[in-house]
Amino acid sequence: MTATSPGLTDRAPLADADVDAFERDGYIRLKNVLDPGLLREREPEITTKVLELNTVHAPMAERTTTQKAFLQVGNLWKHSQAAHDLVFSRRLARIAASLLQVDSVRLYADQALYKEPSGGITPWHADQYYWPLSTDRTCTVWIPLQDTPLDMGPLSFARGSHRFEFGRDLKISDESERALQEALQREDFPIDEAPYDLGDVSFHLGWTFHRAGRNTGTEPRRVMTVIYMDADIRVGPLVRPEQQNDLDVLMPGATLGDVPDTPLNPVLYP
């Protein structure tokens, strides 16, 4: 994919081959989707908000595995115009709709995921474990806010694992890391780990298994994510307490069987 004028609202060229690759692999890396200057401009405000809203202050050694993996702050678009710009980027949302092969996408949630220097691994997991949604038409765009070399812990993917059903009942944990590492290796899924340049993004499906390594560098790995869902998706089934929590917090007022058309889930494209 070659982006010619990488703003936030204009159309990014996406080839049919990109859509096919996403469907086949469960994820796609796209080069030069966003203008590096535009990201550099917004990063300081997003970082300030993440640090202000972050609730994890324990020393690294005393944190849980997930807390070591990243500082996680959601609903940033409500607090920061810079985050709002990325979340409401029609350029990104249109790519999401095209990759999901749906007419329209709405916001499920946004999250900043900051892996601090000496931060731990992000264990293997699939996001849809947490989501009370009726279909698999969901995806996340992972937007690094700096160049992300391998020693910072970029996101990596098990190619084709969106069709692998083992491990879908595992929350992100030491156990998911151990069990999925073993299962993905046994089944010979190719693991795709690569650095991201500023402006590159990746999209992955809700059921694609992914992980990230430790941040052994000296700078925080600053990343913004936006989770999209088919605008016609419905709530349900609710099979885990985590899904009830997501429903209450991320789609307030929606109930089983509803299209989650709540103020927190605006249509982002078209």
Ligand X SMILES: O=C(O)CCC(=O)C(=O)O
Size of the site for ligand X (CB under 6 A): 13
Backbone φ, ψ for residue 115 (5° rounding): -95, 115
Nearer of residues 151 and 258 to ligand X, judged by Cβ: 151
Q: For residue 111, what are the β-bridge partners? A: 74, 225
What residues from 202 to 231 belong to the interface with ligand X (CB under 6 A)?
210, 212, 223, 225
In the complex, the smallest distance separating the C-beta of residue 155 from ligand X, rounded to whole angstroms, is: 6
**Direct distance between the N- and C-terminal alpha carbons of the chain, in angstroms, rounded to an integer:** 21
Candidates 30, 46, 100, 113; binder of ligand X (CB under 6 A) is: 113
Q: Decide: is 126 part of the binding site for ligand X (CB under 6 A).
A: no
What residues from 36 to 75 belong to the interface with ligand X (CB under 6 A)?
69-70
Q: Decide: is 114 part of the binding site for ligand X (CB under 6 A).
A: no
State the DSSP H helix or E strand holding residue 203, giving kind and residue range, or none if neither. Answer: strand 201-205
Candidates 127, 177, 200, 230; binder of ligand X (CB under 6 A) is: 127
Question: How many Å separate Cα 252 from the centre of its chain?
Answer: 21
In the complex, the smallest distance separating the C-beta of residue 16 from ligand X, rounded to whole angstroms, is: 26
Q: Decide: is 138 part of the binding site for ligand X (CB under 6 A).
A: no
CA distance 142 to 117: 19
Q: Decide: is 142 part of the binding site for ligand X (CB under 6 A).
A: yes
Backbone φ, ψ for residue 103 (5° rounding): -75, -30
DSSP 117: T
Which pair of tokens denotes residue 146?
A: 């700096």
Q: Decide: is 140 part of the binding site for ligand X (CB under 6 A).
A: yes
Neighbouring CB atoms inside 10 A of 163's CB total 10
Q: Where does this chain bind ligand X (CB under 6 A)?
A: 69-70, 113, 115, 122, 127, 140, 142, 155, 210, 212, 223, 225
